[in-house]
Structure 1
Amino acid sequence: MVPLNCSGSTEGLVDSMDTGDLSCSYQDRSLDPVGTRPRLDSMSSVEEDDYDTLTDIESDKNVIRTKQYLYVADLARKDKRVLRKKYQIYFWNIATIAVFYALPVVQLVITYQTVVNVTGNQDICYYNFLCAHPLGNLSAFNNILSNLGYILLGLLFLLIILQREINHNRALLRNDLYALECGIPKHFGLFYAMGTALMMEGLLSACYHVCPNYTNFQFDTSFMYMIAGLCMLKLYQKRHPDINASAYSAYACLAIVIFFSVVGVVFGKGNTAFWIVFSVIHIIATLLLSIQLYYMGRWKLDSGVGRRILHVLYTDCIRQCSGPLYTDRMVLLVMGNIINWSLAAYGLIMRPNDFASYLLAIGICNLLLYFAFYIIMKLRSGERIKLIPLLCIICTSVVWGFALFFFFQGLSTWQKTPAESREHNRDCILLDFFDDHDIWHFLSSIAMFGSFLVLLTLDDDLDTVQRDKIYVF
């Protein structure tokens, strides 16, 4: 028999327990609290590091993010300086993307215009020949000039954001409690990215209109995908500042969208296999994103995910038929899945020739759905919309309505032959210089600028409300 050493060594513990002879008396044992004794003094095989304590409620992500009722303070715990740098990457990345994307586009459309001028073959480009005003080597300068609104309003939005950021930083330097502890956390990186994207949309739309045709149309839509994606990210960031996607993952997803846009333009016409593959990927991506949003990122995509899904379905739907824990989130995601599945079915059945516009419609529908959900939940949470954002919402909606009217006039179409396209041409309607599509450019640039202002001012009513009283939805 080996006795138990009173110093705390557990060698031979099993043998000593068998004989019931413990050489250490009860009085010899330390009476120090468990938390202050060395780990070897504990008789338990489970140490305090192996179980959760009450303080974990305040720090553990799995506890915080799975609460039924979340507040902005729960998701605004990270260092503000770290988050500021994280969101500034959105601006620097899109600026880099813009340079590398725009330069070859400019070179390509200049080559197209040169070919038209040298060969005289005007069937290469689908102009509105009844209202095409040349300038120098450019065949339709009016269609290019009308895109100036995007660039100027994008620049104006950047200046507005800069002024807001300067005012916010001054408030932080004064240790203003409203700036430190109240309102939606102020991060401006995504706003800078949105303004840059609007300017690039104007530049690339102008490039497309140098020689509008089917293969060039992706230039006109690429930054529209960017704008739709950035607006959705900004809406999500407002109430989820700590868990929003990084710039790298966000732009990687947008790059995949643009990749499918290019593939759809090249191979999508009447290709059943392409539409089947795209529809399946669309549905799977929608489901994965829905799970990510519902569980606030607290789930794992691994080999056991199927088993866990079946377990949840059995316990919550069959065994006890309980409702979803996050009802509002579930309503949004169910509606989103219905819309996206319907769009996938439409694409698979109808197989539209204009794949780029179809892809853009998917992005816009999801953005409008999320925006409507955000406003409804804001009002439902007892918050209000101040006069300026309310006027922006009303005016922007009206301008969008008029803009879409002019967009659908169809002055030319590369979905038909050049001769058939010319049958749709119309005379100028503004200053004997601009046609219907030019007015679409003017109005849509104003509408996008107004939409950005709505995002910027929508939560101004919360600037004096503490973050632990602002709901997350």
Structure 2
Amino acid sequence: MLFSALVIATVLHIRSVVGDSKSGVVDIQPCSVATGVVSRSLSIAYSLNGNFSLCPDQSYQALRVSTWSGGDGGGQDYPLVFVTRQGRAVDSWTIPFQPPDFTIDFDGVNRTLCYNNMTSVSNSLAYVDVFTSFGENVSFNIVFDPVPNYTLQKDTWYPFQVGASTPQVHVFRFPDGVRTVTVQAKASSSRCAILSVQNVSCPINDLLEEIKSKGHYQTMSTDGFVTISRDVFKYSSFFVVLITTNYSECHSSDYVTLSPLYVNGTVLGFEQRIDVIIRPLQTAPVFPILFPLILFGVLYAITLVFIAVECLLKCRWSFPCKWVYVRKTNVSQDADGERLVPTDRTMGSLNTGGDHSSGDTAVEDSLQLHVMEKAERDLRLSHLCETQLKTLQSHYSVYSWNTVTVGIFYGLPAFQLVLSQQLLATSSGEEDLCYYNFKCSHPVGVLSSFNNVWSNVGYFLLGVLFIIVTFIRETKYTRLRKQKRPYFEKRGIPQFFGIYYAMGLALILEGVMSSLYHICPTNANFQFDTAFMFIIAGLILTKVFQNRHPDIHTNSFIAFFSFAVVIFFTLLGIHYDQRNPVAVRCSLLAITVFMVAGFFTSFYYFHRWKLSKAMFIKVFESWKFFSCKLLHPIRFFKLFGVFVINVIVAIVAIIGNKYIDFATTILTFFLLNVMLFLSMYVISKMCYREPWTLPPMVLPIVVCGLWAAALYFFMNSLTDWKLTPAESRHLNRPCSLMGFYDDHDIWHFLSAFALFFSFLFIMTLDDGIADWQWKDIHVF
């Protein structure tokens, strides 16, 4: 109503400017071209009659009015004005016609007449007023033609010629029993167009300046895909509107000059062929939704049954608990007479950062050098396990609480942001806000792509399962230590389950944050799920390191601060990588390599090196530090190899900046170092010929297979937020699993399995030396 009032007011104003002009009412017959002349003193009103005898096909449902001028008008300053009146529906346009962001004037415009409540054409009257304020005579042509294929049928392709001034408007009525449909459009060229789905009401917003103010719309280069529910529209029907637009709306590259379409010397617009098909979509199918629950439920059953059977049989090859069997050895043996469990004053305070006297510091530094000067093959777990286990247990238990705290404070604002984005996309109808795989997007409720959100349930379920496994393992370990306390006092790798619980919680939160990201995926919230991938990788690194260095615990607050620093670097890379990618990547990767080198340098000295005055004096006085002979040659070559690999990866990342985004580069860089550290750990176990149980021998094969399959589906990019929404939709592909899940959903399933079995591998890695004395366990 407001739009109609504005148009009428505009018409009255122009007519008042024209002044005392002559006008006439002319009957016009459909399918016949009428030629007229108007000027400042002459206007024409056309009345559409009901005689359709000239139309070759009289089975019409709608009419399209086509207007064009002879090019002899006053240009943009004195245009021809066309106003259509149909009851309360009023619409207008001008010739020459210049759409927004176009520099070319079009001499022809086509508009589809709108009929309120889908009233029959034969029962509706239509009037067209034509006038101008130009002083000279201006000629024009006008014709009313039936719209072919006005009503679209499901599962049928329809070809249309679409231009910037010649939009196509068609209607679709929901068949009985169909609740949701998908409107798919495929263009013959990579020009830019807009696909709009609007409610059946007048006026039809089919021009560029108004098409985005009604219904759902998206830009399209070669592919468009809109999913529509029956409940959205009042009359269970909707208009499908197509119109071409400026090239720059769809493409991030420089504007490409395109040649407009000329007909008899008249500029009609940039026309291209667009094919449209409408297909019914099954809404929330039961079995595909239950599939993840069944899939992961089977793993629940197998794991818990396996645990129960192993614990009942007390098998040596236990899974996942090795603690039901130990080798009978002499309990009285000690670690070469060395003090194993002293007070916290020796090394505990050193690692907790407590206050020290000068005498204590000298003693501690002397102990540091004692460890540093030992040959790697002579260093045993007894040398690095001097703090009371209860004290260490309290330190490691903080990891789980910090993980929960970070998840809550990070997750709530993230949920608020993505929910606001989703509601904005729903209310505005702009489907360019979120980067979905529109060819496999199943809406449920307020979620536009429920399948991408639901497929993350595996992270949650397997995170809970890992926590259950950890609890069972901890319970058995605690009970056996109480039953055989003297025997278990100094045997096996000291078990601290706080990091295991943190790993399970991080897996749960990875699923939660990935779900939040997929509510409305954009480059603004890409960090939501990758942040917890950094945390998971960091926890794995911490846990593997802690196995052989239990006394050197990393403060959990410092650890999470380190994760935040890595995420901050990634944030800088995301926002500045497009401006100067080489400089940004060189700077940030250099910092990252320096941090890795610092960590592995500390690793070379068994993390016992400390910046203090007494330490420097001892180092200066030690002749070994002046010789060319390496203290720990094996450890040095490990460090050197890792450093070389990191430099090579950094160079590849800089060279390949056009192919891999910076966030993925940093995450890959971080995960690679975790894999290197874990590989060094496994190789060292093999070099020292430590015994293996069955699970850590089988699990690597399973884990590698799962990660290989998962990465295959991950590399099949279905969206790319570095591109424009229209360019990203070119990567969309149909569902690949049960007609409900796409390749990225399969990545969610497989990566959840891979992470779970990776956790189990780390948990059972040292079960083979569960009954070894500390003096026999090497440090590496």
| Superposition TM-score tier, normalisation by shorter sequence | 0.7 to 0.9
Q: Structure 2: which 5+ residue stretches go unaligned?
A: 1-357
One-letter code of the match for 1:391? V
Larger radius of gyration: 2
Instruction: Look up the match of 2:601.
Output: 291
**Is the CA contact 2:624–2:631 (under 8 Å) kept in the aligned structure 1?**
no
Which of 379, 404, 414 does residue 70 from structure 1 map onto?
A: 379
DSSP 3-state at the match of 1:136: coil
Which of 678, 699, 702 does residue 371 from structure 1 map onto?
A: 678
- Quick one: distance in 2 between partners of 1:453 and 1:195? 11
Which residues in structure 2 correspond to 1:374-385 (within 5 Å)? 374-385=681-692
Displacement of 1:165 in angstroms is 1.0
TM-score calculated relative to the size of structure 1: 0.82
- Quick one: distance in 2 between partners of 1:62 and 1:224? 36
Instruction: Look up the match of 2:634.
Output: 328
Displacement of 1:72 in angstroms is 0.9
DSSP 3-state at the match of 2:418: helix
Which residues in structure 2 correspond to 1:280-319 (within 5 Å)? 280-301=590-611, 315-317=626-628
- Quick one: distance in 2 between partners of 1:265 and 1:302? 38
Using a 3 Å threshold, how does the CA distance of structure 1 residues 132 and 178 change in structure 2: closer, same or farther? farther
**Is the CA contact 1:268–1:355 (under 8 Å) kept in the aligned structure 2?**
yes
Deviations 1:49-100 (A, max 9, x none): x999xxx89x933313431121111111111110000000111111111110
Which residues in structure 2 correspond to 1:158-177 (within 5 Å)? 158-177=467-486
Which of 258, 264, 268 does residue 573 from structure 2 map onto?
A: 264
DSSP 3-state at the match of 1:60: helix
Deviations 1:14-61 (A, max 9, x none): xxxxxxxxxxxxxxxxxxxxxxxxxxxxxxxxxxxx999xxx89x933
Displacement of 1:412 in angstroms is 1.5
Displacement of 1:201 in angstroms is 0.4
Deviations 1:293-323 (A, max 9, x none): 1112333447998xx89x9999444xxxx3x
> Greater helix share, 1 or 2?
1
- Quick one: distance in 1 between partners of 2:527 and 2:401? 23
**Is the CA contact 1:215–1:265 (under 8 Å) kept in the aligned structure 2?**
no
Displacement of 1:162 in angstroms is 0.9
Instruction: Look up the match of 2:419.
Output: 110
- Quick one: distance in 1 between partners of 2:478 and 2:413? 39
DSSP 3-state at the match of 1:344: helix
- Quick one: distance in 1 between partners of 2:515 and 2:692? 36
Matched, 1:430 2:737: yes
Using a 3 Å threshold, how does the CA distance of structure 1 residues 105 and 469 change in structure 2: closer, same or farther? same
- Quick one: distance in 2 between partners of 1:273 and 1:379? 42
> Greater strand share, 1 or 2?
2
One-letter code of the match for 2:651? A
**Is the CA contact 1:129–1:422 (under 8 Å) kept in the aligned structure 2?**
yes
Instruction: Look up the match of 2:441.
Output: 132
**Is the CA contact 2:718–2:731 (under 8 Å) kept in the aligned structure 1?**
yes
Which residues in structure 2 correspond to 1:59-458 (within 5 Å)? 60-68=367-375, 69-271=378-580, 272-301=582-611, 315-317=626-628, 322=629, 324-351=630-657, 354-458=661-765
**Is the CA contact 1:129–1:425 (under 8 Å) kept in the aligned structure 2?**
yes
DSSP 3-state at the match of 2:432: helix
DSSP 3-state at the match of 1:394: helix
One-letter code of the match for 1:390? M
Using a 3 Å threshold, how does the CA distance of structure 1 residues 457 and 314 change in structure 2: closer, same or farther? closer
- Quick one: distance in 2 between partners of 1:256 and 1:302? 25
**Is the CA contact 1:270–1:351 (under 8 Å) kept in the aligned structure 2?**
no
**Is the CA contact 1:294–1:329 (under 8 Å) kept in the aligned structure 2?**
yes
Q: Structure 1: which 5+ residue stretches go unaligned?
A: 1-49
Structure with more relative contact order (C-alpha pairs < 8 Å, separation 6 or more): 1
**Is the CA contact 1:183–1:465 (under 8 Å) kept in the aligned structure 2?**
yes
Q: Tell me whether 263-272 or 99-108 shows the greater mean CA deviation.
A: 263-272
**Is the CA contact 1:269–1:351 (under 8 Å) kept in the aligned structure 2?**
no
**Is the CA contact 1:153–1:445 (under 8 Å) kept in the aligned structure 2?**
yes
**Is the CA contact 1:406–1:439 (under 8 Å) kept in the aligned structure 2?**
yes
Displacement of 1:402 in angstroms is 0.9
Q: Give me the CA root mean square deviation.
A: 2.6
Displacement of 1:273 in angstroms is 4.4
- Matched-pair identity in %: 40
Displacement of 1:212 in angstroms is 1.1
Deviations 1:363-387 (A, max 9, x none): 1110111111111110110113211
Using a 3 Å threshold, how does the CA distance of structure 1 residues 175 and 237 change in structure 2: closer, same or farther? same
TM-score calculated relative to the size of structure 2: 0.51
DSSP 3-state at the match of 1:209: helix
